[in-house]
Structure 1
């Protein structure tokens, strides 16, 4: 069976660098739909300086990121190994698994911290009224979003890799080609952005549907590069290490 990267720390690196600032800007714009990117940046900086762009990082974004590595990547790798359309179905399966484990709760906590700030009081009030189900309310919608997000990211990235290979299906891609494939997969995966705002903005067509899509594209590109390109690189490293160990044993 294919070797999996232990720990998969690249999602934590992603969210601790540019990932969380993109997430904070995207979440603010979703909650304050009249604010432009410039206004969002000013308000976020005024709220806490540079640290304002990292609200919700510890522990919620770290918990979510670790499940991307531990749950999403493991599940997607297993499906990728066993299915012909592994990129697409791997992303779908991994996204669903991650959503139902921790992402529903983490999404609630991060959103409250960025938009309302009194995170623990609101979480306690919701828990008192509705229990764990209240904190995870909407998790099925999150799972559906993750299905389309990660199915698209992995699927489009793998298709792009096939386009780069052309007729030579066994050719090893260059790092530039792999990076480009991940970036294209991340950007085009944002096709589902209108579904996030359909219910509340159905009367305000293009602007309403695509509010916040710019920071989301930035987040998606960076996240997909870290998860697909970074994940493949780490798995290749450990696979190569295993091969060297096996060769030394038989030598």
Structure 2
């Protein structure tokens, strides 16, 4: 999900000095991802995933069940090791891919909004297929598998992963990766694009040009807008969770594809089933985008000033 992307300095349709992607910037992406997921990110993720997998539950019921599973630590299920592994790798992938694509798009003459959207989409796809598939699947397994009773209750997270691999091979531990890719592509296309659009709108409202940077609160506000409005693709997220869920339900297709999963959700929960978990995902989207766009830009500026510019 999430990463700080270096804002290209190009004016649409012109040639600009290209910002170098170096190890310092890759480290910024990884660090901000770790901060985001370890603070509010994983609790939002757990609540969102629970509601998407248990579509009969409301928010209050979800809080109660999650707390009963493990107290406060129940809201951090899947954080160690899967969310940490995912966060420490996907940020580097996204910062590289999205910033390079956004730079090229701006240089070709498109608007900052379009360039941000194209860069975010490309970065999201790269992120999903290189680092996120397995980790996202295992996070969902940890959140949805039963732990209170039965043989699997005694299995560690690595034993569960090994068991799935033995039974289903590489496809099994990457189950739902195509849905993850669609989600990340639309997530970061929207988040980065809408954040750039919000930044440009703020500049127009205050009557300044693009050369003058936004202040901290303006940057946070633009990022929050971009992250919050990106909730439109919640149906894709519900499909992704259902494909990766370990909950057993009578009549549920054994071999899940995006198409038959969507039919199953419609059959069992109707249209509203595709929007379960929207509220925590709204909060998650805002927090991720604030951390990774506003926070990431600020951290990159600090690193570049202290250790040398790109």
Query: TM-score, normalising length from structure 2?
Result: 0.74
The 8 Å contact of residues 3 and 239 in structure 1, kept in 2 or not, is answered as: no
2: CA distance between counterparts of 1:52 and 1:66?
22
1:105 Cα shift?
Answer: 0.4
Q: Which residue of 2 aligns with 1:144?
A: 182
Which blocks of at least 5 consecutive residues in structure 1 are unaligned? 247-251
1: CA distance between counterparts of 2:130 and 2:158?
21
The 8 Å contact of residues 90 and 131 in structure 2, kept in 1 or not, is answered as: no
2: CA distance between counterparts of 1:122 and 1:170?
52
Name whichever of 72-81 and 182-191 sits farther off: 72-81
Q: Which residue of 2 aligns with 1:249?
A: none
1:139 Cα shift?
Answer: 1.2
Which blocks of at least 5 consecutive residues in structure 2 are unaligned? 1-17, 107-113, 240-261
Q: Which has the higher helix share?
A: 1
Asked which structure has the greater RCO (Cα within 8 Å, sep 6+), the reply is 2
Q: 1:186 aligns with which of 217, 227, 233?
A: 227
1:175 Cα shift?
Answer: 1.1
1: CA distance between counterparts of 2:123 and 2:300?
16
Q: Which residue of 1 aligns with 2:264?
A: 200
2: CA distance between counterparts of 1:80 and 1:235?
17
Q: Which residue of 2 aligns with 1:233?
A: 298
1:121 Cα shift?
Answer: 4.3
Equivalent positions of 1:111-130 (< 5 A) are 111-116=140-145, 117=147, 118=152, 119-130=157-168
Q: Which residue of 2 aligns with 1:13?
A: 35
2: CA distance between counterparts of 1:139 and 1:151?
18
2: CA distance between counterparts of 1:60 and 1:212?
21
1:170 Cα shift?
Answer: 2.2
1:69 Cα shift?
Answer: 1.8
2: CA distance between counterparts of 1:40 and 1:229?
31
DSSP 3-state at the match of 1:83 = helix
Q: Which residue of 1 aligns with 2:127?
A: 98
Q: Which whole-Å deviations, capped at 9, do the CAs of 1:24-69 have from their partners, x for residues lacking one?
A: 1111111111111111111111111111111110110011111232
2: CA distance between counterparts of 1:100 and 1:123?
18
List structure 1 runs of 4+ shifted beyond 6 angstroms. Answer: none
Alpha carbon RMSD of aligned pairs, Å?
2.0
Query: TM-score, normalising length from structure 1?
Result: 0.90
1:28 aligned onto 2:50: yes
DSSP 3-state at the match of 1:170 = coil
1:87 Cα shift?
Answer: 1.2
Q: Which residue of 2 aligns with 1:110?
A: 139
Q: 1:156 aligns with which of 191, 194, 197?
A: 194
Q: Which residue of 2 aligns with 1:219?
A: 284
